[in-house]
Structure 1
């Protein structure tokens, strides 16, 4: 029995160590890893590029090239990729767009021939040739989005199922934005715009378009289910939350994954729903909140928010899944067959001990919905994460953007250190 226990322990140790090992092959000029990273079961990784400036959201074009939003003077960089043994590496890197640096927003039209980027103020469209990497003159299709220095991201999503539609999200003016109790303010919303109409006459964000969702504090990324066409968004919630004078901010409110129906469904029951912000917040640590019967994801009214009648939070739309408070989701992408969504969590600052700084997987069922219920705390499967948080956030793995190609490879940006990784199914 003793020998068996030793053997079992050795196997477990080998399995654990294996999860810390990257792909044996290495791309040229990518250097050695600076910190210890842990992989989930069934994954391996390699470093793709390390000379980028604050890389954020990414897309893969129809030729398999990776387009990366950068900070600084370059808005979008184009990475032409090549196979090198069992990994993929960069064959060439070039500036694609150098006008008015983008924040995070980037998307391609359904046919891949139009590239969209966003700034704090506008959404821009460019004719795009994936084979040559040439872009045409930019055209402003949405404007009047600037709200202030906080929540500057304007994430974009184009639809395969409704190709003339582009979704644009705009966050709150501050941590708590009282004016957003009125959807006409057009903050803390997701709005849908016609691409063809925007190319003829620029949309005004506040005045034009349709509200897909409101009361949704800061949507940082959106994704369309590749099989069912459902629209999903990840949302970052408010900070420094108190309830009845008690500080409950360390583990509340929950970050969340919200569902918004199918764009080409004329009877979409999710269209135009209110998700509670700024008066209601989703629960994560229900024990510290102390409301009888409250479950994970249920909405409650914190201190200092716009007043609403008692019990009204129960009438607002809840998230579909919920995540640890302050983990700061930054991007979401589905795999090719829609059986999983990958979420990049940028990491916390507004809690006593750091949390996040990881990529997690959420599994989806054959109905196009997550397999876990809305009140689950175990819906996240670890994929890629830091082992040691002591050097976060300045010198650690801090994921920002995701992209997935036709071969199922997951591209992942680290905006703090300028890296792009590739995660492979082992």
Structure 2
């Protein structure tokens, strides 16, 4: 009897797995040339038809919440066939709002949902099982309205529960008001929500909160390193710049990865000025009168008695890493073991030959980047467009990242209204070309899963015939 019962249990489990694999067809294809995936990775388009998807985040039940810029928040449930074989099984519109544009976060218990507009941060009660939000929302932070750079990235700290990090960019390309710390422009701050009540007055971003850094032109991506708790951001630097009247905008300034100390421990560099609007990170060193400066050195656009290269080097916090100019990093997410940080590069507009439009990874160890601060090879491509010359019109433009419980990477593309998923295959992921196309890889994954399940079923049936 015990053998019979065990067989029935195993057969039922195998049947359920087979049904799941059959339910996920994994057949979505982009309307443009399939992305190029690095060796050691596979990728699949799993959702389309969205409107400008930006920030994405998994809830406690494994459903993906997506901020659609100017539309609101939608919840996606998936049929999961394993690896990168997933299909959307259900779409639920949670919040309809033309104000929400990018930021999203959850409380530590997953019962409070946070989202942002250009001016404010809001919260709703959230039920992951039911897929519902409360009827009303609470305004938690105000005073962030800008004419430009209107996204407000949100990060709920895992190391200091109840602390929400908020990033606000500049009001223009070269925003001279950012020089004044009291304006709140180009800053990252942390706010304590642990003691908030439904009647609490909203924080004012300009005058309240814990300053993590200022002089940060537009740090859209913000993340907490999972082992040490160090806070890192990735910054979009300035466009159309010249240095002492010489046009250097094609390859300068570099985009930045900056470090902002800890929320629960050391405050190294915390609250420091990172240079903007006067000092920028050097990427291409082939410009006049640089002296001994190298990649990542802070330089000034003009030289005068007050603001010059010496001032920038001595008085401003340099980046931990510098990336190619104009690639526009928009998100950063860490593996739970802290060995990699994934970065989306939304892509350039201020350059003759387009760059970016890709997902890359940066190696980390002991809470810091492995590469030296002047490295030009720290970012290794995982997924890129086959031909950047057709960008931004005929290619994906990555924005938000989210990791699920299986360490699969989900990535939004706002220009194409899509969500991709990526997973490691076990091979070395060190090249930036080659690899299987997303569609073919997915189909073969689903087929292998079905073969394995049917093989298991036949073996189980053979055992039953022998022993029952």
Cα gap change, 1:392/1:350 in structure 2, threshold over 3 Å: closer, same or farther? same
Q: SS of the counterpart of 2:276?
A: coil
Deviation at 1:390, TM superposition (A): 2.6
Call closer, same or farther: CA 1:362–1:85 in 2, change over 3 Å.
closer
Equivalents in 2 of 1:204, 1:104: separation in Å? Answer: 20
| Secondary structure class of the residue paired with 1:251 | coil
Alignment equivalent of 2:172, drawn from 164, 171, 174:
174
Residue number in structure 2 paired with 1:78: 75
Separation in 2, partners of 1:269, 1:166: 19
Matches of 1:239 and 1:100, distance apart in 2: 28
Find the aligned partners of 2:243 and 2:54 in 1 and give their Cα distance.
Answer: 35
Corresponding residue number in structure 2 for 1:4: none
Say which is worse superposed, 296-305 or 107-116, in terms of deviation.
Answer: 296-305
Given that 2:224 and 2:230 are in contact with CA atoms closer than 8 Å, whether structure 1 keeps it comes out as: yes
Q: Is the 8 A contact 2:321 2:373 kept in 1?
A: yes
TM-score (norm 2): 0.82
1:97 aligns with 2:95: yes
Task: Output the CA distance in 2 between the equivalents of 1:311 and 1:31.
Answer: 52
Which segment is superposed worse, 236-245 or 288-297?
Answer: 288-297
Change beyond 3 A, Cα 1:100–1:198: farther
* Cα deviation, residue 93, structure 1: 0.8
Q: CA deviation at 1:231?
A: 0.6
Partner SS state of residue 368, structure 2: coil
Indicate the residue corresponding to 1:347 in structure 2. Answer: 347
Residue 399 of structure 1 pairs with residue 398 of structure 2: yes
SS in 2 for 1:196: coil
Matched, 1:300 2:281: no
Within the candidate set 63, 66, 69, 1:68 is matched to: 66
Is the Cα contact below 8 Å between 2:213 and 2:271 reproduced in 1? yes
SS in 1 for 2:54: coil
- Contact kept, 8 Å, 2:152 with 2:166, in 1: the verdict is yes
Does the aligned pair in 2 maintain the 1:59–1:403 contact within 8 Å?
A: yes
Q: Residues of 2 paired with 1:225 and 1:38: CA distance?
A: 28
> Deviations for 1:169-202, whole angstroms, at most 9, x for unmatched residues?
1111111111211211110000111113554221
4+ runs deviating over 3 angstroms: 25-29, 196-199, 303-307
> 1:7: which partner in 2?
none
Which residue is equivalent to 2:242?
Answer: 242
Q: Is the 8 A contact 2:299 2:309 kept in 1?
A: no
Q: Is the 8 A contact 1:227 1:337 kept in 2?
A: yes
Which one has a larger percent helix, Structure 1 or Structure 2? 2
**Aligned length in residues:** 398
Tell me the SS of whatever aligns to 1:288: coil
The aligned counterpart of 2:373 is: 374
Residues 14-63 of structure 1, C-alpha deviations (whole Å, 9 max, x = no match): xxxxxxxxxxx974673455313111121001111011111011111111
SS where residue 311 of structure 1 aligns? helix
Tell whether the 8 Å contact from 1:278 to 1:305 is kept in structure 2 after alignment.
no
The corresponding residue for 2:414 is: 415
Match of 2:395, SS state, is coil
Deviation per CA, 1:200-249: give whole Å up to 9, x if none: 22111112112110011111110111111111111000011111211111
Say if 1:56 and 1:401, in contact at 8 Å, map to a contact too: yes
Structure with the greater relative contact order (CA < 8 A, sep ≥ 6): 1 or 2? Answer: 2
Alignment match, 1:328: 328
Q: What is the CA distance between 1:147 and its match in structure 2?
A: 1.9
2:193 to 192, 195, 211: 195
Say whether the 8 Å CA contact 1:191–1:210 is kept in structure 2.
yes
Q: CA separation in 2, counterparts of 1:250 and 1:43?
A: 31
Q: Which secondary structure does the structure 1 equivalent of 2:367 belong to?
A: coil
TM-score, normalising length: structure 1: 0.90
Runs of 5+ consecutive residues of structure 1 not aligned to the other structure: 1-24
Distance 2:75 2:306 in 1: 48
8 Å contact kept, 1:279–1:305: no
Computing the radius of gyration over CA atoms, which structure comes out larger, 1 or 2?
Answer: 2
Q: Greater CA deviation, 273-282 or 86-95? A: 86-95
Structure 2 unaligned spans of 5+: 1-22, 426-468
- Is residue 207 from structure 1 mapped to residue 207 from structure 2 by the alignment? yes
CA 1:281–1:289: 2 relative to 1, 3 Å: farther
Superposition deviation, residue 304 in structure 1: 9.7
Measured after TM superposition, the shift of residue 335 of structure 1 is 1.4
* Residues 225-278 of structure 1: CA deviation (Å, up to 9, x unaligned): 11111111110000111112111110000001111111011x412211110111
